[in-house]
Structure 1
Amino acid sequence: MKRALLFIFIALLAILPWLAGSDYYTNLASQALIAALFALSLNLLVGYAGLTSLGHAGFLGLAAYSSAWLMLNLQWDQASAAAAALAGSTVVAGVFGLIALRASGIGFLMITLALGQILWGIAYRWASVTGGDNGLSGISRPHPFGFDLGPASHFYYFTLLVFLLVWAVVALWVRSPFGASIRGTRDQPRRMSALGFNVWLIRWITFTISGFFGAVAGLMYVYYQQFISPHSLALANSAEMLLMVIAGGPATLAGPVVGAALVVLLKNIASGYIDRWIMLLGFVFLFIVLFVPNGIVPGVAKLWQRWQQRRRHKEERA
């Protein structure tokens, strides 16, 4: 059943530009995939490691700014700028992990919030490098193997390819023995430590890898927007991505994708018909918390299991 749903999901994504019928909805789908990429990276911390972060947008913005600045000011090519941005963001994630993992729970949350605000402050105040409020613009999209990513459908398929690759890597990673150890540090850190596992090191590696995938989302973000501003590093962006993970279902592979699609659709479609669409978004999340507290994907899976059990009971009685 899961394999069939996965095949249908990928098939729908593959033909989506034809189903959309316009560049607007194709671009909207690209936005949703980029948001899902970022939510997947955050889910490694929130869902699998049990570490809630409010500064994760810093990695997205850092990679985007680094790549844009290298291309605009040093005239680096796309590949070199992307590689340097990913490497630099991963190193920063490792350093931030050393600082943030000195605490857990609320302490970890507040440290990540502070670190994220530091990056936002640098982007906002260091106008000679970041452009300040005006940001950096005029960024060109890459041309992999001479393929033009200017048209909406071309960029969508490029984003889809990156998304599926990251999704597959994350799926293999969380289902590996190391992924099991990550969940163990979330559920029973003392027992894992008693069994000889280095809980701090496992969490630090997860934090760093999460930052790397957040940087990948940052590159896709700046390629799509062709513009970057301090807003990308703001607290509101981190909180929005956290809501995507919680709404879809943490510690699941499909949850962040569903949550990202829900938020992006509400922001871009509902806002066109409802003036106070943020209130609608609040009601949607309130409904999720009250009726499916574990998220949409686990909630739907639970309903499906109940329906299957009831059907079996009826067949047995018949």
Structure 2
Amino acid sequence: MTITAPAYRPTHARLGWRSGGVAIAAVTALAAAPFFLAPYATTTLTRMLVFALLAASLDLLVGFTGLPSLGHAAYFGVGAYAAGWVAIHLTPAAPVPLLAAVVAGALAAAAAGSVAVRTSGVYFLMLTLALAEVIQQVAESWEPVTGGSNGLYGIPAVRIGSQALTNVGYLHWYVLACCLLGVAVLWSLVASPFGATLRGIRDNEPRMRSIGYDPARYKYAAFVAAGAVAGLAGGLLAAQQRLVTPADLGFTTSALALLAVVIGGSGTLWGPCVGAALVILVRDSLGSSLDGHGPLVLGLVFIAVVFAMPRGVAGIRGLPVARRWRAKR
């Protein structure tokens, strides 16, 4: 008698269909949001999308490569400055500013990564922080280009054809489409043999080296790819708030992105997006109603997640996407 495929494969297939259904429902709800939300709420949701893409790009390093970074916002900010500068001095027509943001983020990550990936552990953590501080100091002192401590302001609204996206609903759909594209790029990377190699390096780098892989080269490629997607998120930030400041590439932004990855669950892509939405909700929406104690609430949420949900939101039992993630791991 011929033995067929193992019984767990149909279960994974069902989980895949459920995960796909959840993703479609989430995208549909995000696309329909401007019809039901007030302009301020729509703007907050758009900002969540931007920060979610930043967190997902950081997860490529933290969750899939095992490289926790405290300076990832540097490439986010570089992309934002590049997009803003191009929109002011050249053209705000899409997708030119976003392409400039992606290239700028990738180049900045390539320069920093050539040094950072030679280290690991706490040394990598501190080196990425130091490099990001250098980039922030450049942004604060290069006033003719970045506007210095005042920031780069007066960024024109992004244009598609002859239409300027001044309406918050149109801008939300534009950001949503670009974020989906960025997440699709990240997903294609982690689902490819390249992603499998990154997970192998994360789990056992000496063994990967012993079978012929060059971990430094793969980590460098992941670093540049994450920087490029973070640059894309920065370009969307410039389009959304039409102002870029040195704080956008500072330590606080990097720490919040890492916090979103931890809360959502590293190694999942969708988990950091959920964590980013929670961070922005507490910081921007609830913070004003808590007498400025939003950071305190974020700290309490972080402590609760570390003790109650070590794998973050993605590790909650009962969620179809969480079960599928645990099965893959």
The residue correspondences of 1:1-318 to structure 2 (distance < 5 A) are 1-20=18-37, 22-72=38-88, 74-76=89-91, 78=93, 79-275=95-291, 276-301=293-318
The structural deviation recorded for 1:85 is: 3.6
Partner-residue secondary structure (3-state), 1:40: helix
Q: Distance in 2 between matches of 1:151 and 1:304?
A: 34
Residue 67 of structure 1 contacts residue 81 of structure 1 at CA under 8 Å; is this kept in 2? yes
Q: Distance in 1 between matches of 2:144 and 2:188?
A: 42
Amino acid in the other structure paired with 1:199: P
Q: Distance in 2 between matches of 1:241 and 1:36?
A: 8
Residue 84 of structure 2 contacts residue 235 of structure 2 at CA under 8 Å; is this kept in 1? no
Query: In the alignment, what sits opposite 1:311?
Result: none
Residue 103 of structure 2 contacts residue 231 of structure 2 at CA under 8 Å; is this kept in 1? no
The structural deviation recorded for 1:305 is: 8.4
The structural deviation recorded for 1:47 is: 0.7
Partner-residue secondary structure (3-state), 2:70: coil
Q: Distance in 2 between matches of 1:28 and 1:75?
A: 28
Q: Distance in 2 between matches of 1:158 and 1:29?
A: 13
The one-character-per-residue Cα deviations of 1:236-264 (angstroms, maximum 9, x if unpaired) are 11001110011100000211110011011
Q: Distance in 2 between matches of 1:303 and 1:86?
A: 33
- Give the alignment's Cα RMSD to 1 decimal: 1.9
Q: 1:254 to 1:70 in 2, by over 3 A?
A: closer
Q: Distance in 2 between matches of 1:192 and 1:243?
A: 29
Q: 1:303 to 1:13 in 2, by over 3 A?
A: closer
The one-character-per-residue Cα deviations of 1:88-131 (angstroms, maximum 9, x if unpaired) are 33122112111001110001011100100001011112223322
Q: Distance in 1 between matches of 2:236 and 2:100?
A: 15
Query: In the alignment, what sits opposite 1:316?
Result: none
Residue 205 of structure 2 contacts residue 215 of structure 2 at CA under 8 Å; is this kept in 1? yes
Q: 1:3 to 1:302 in 2, by over 3 A?
A: closer
Q: 1:157 to 1:188 in 2, by over 3 A?
A: same
Q: Distance in 1 between matches of 2:319 and 2:81?
A: 42
The alignment covers a number of residue pairs equal to 304
The structural deviation recorded for 1:273 is: 2.0
The one-character-per-residue Cα deviations of 1:42-92 (angstroms, maximum 9, x if unpaired) are 1100110010111111111111112323443x4345444443342233122
Q: Distance in 2 between matches of 1:127 and 1:305?
A: 46
Q: 1:205 to 1:279 in 2, by over 3 A?
A: same
The structural deviation recorded for 1:301 is: 4.7
What TM-score, normalized by structure 1, do the two folds share? Answer: 0.91
Bigger mean CA deviation after superposition, 1-10 or 157-166 = 1-10
Bigger mean CA deviation after superposition, 82-91 or 5-14 = 82-91
Residue 148 of structure 1 contacts residue 154 of structure 1 at CA under 8 Å; is this kept in 2? no
Residue 261 of structure 2 contacts residue 272 of structure 2 at CA under 8 Å; is this kept in 1? yes
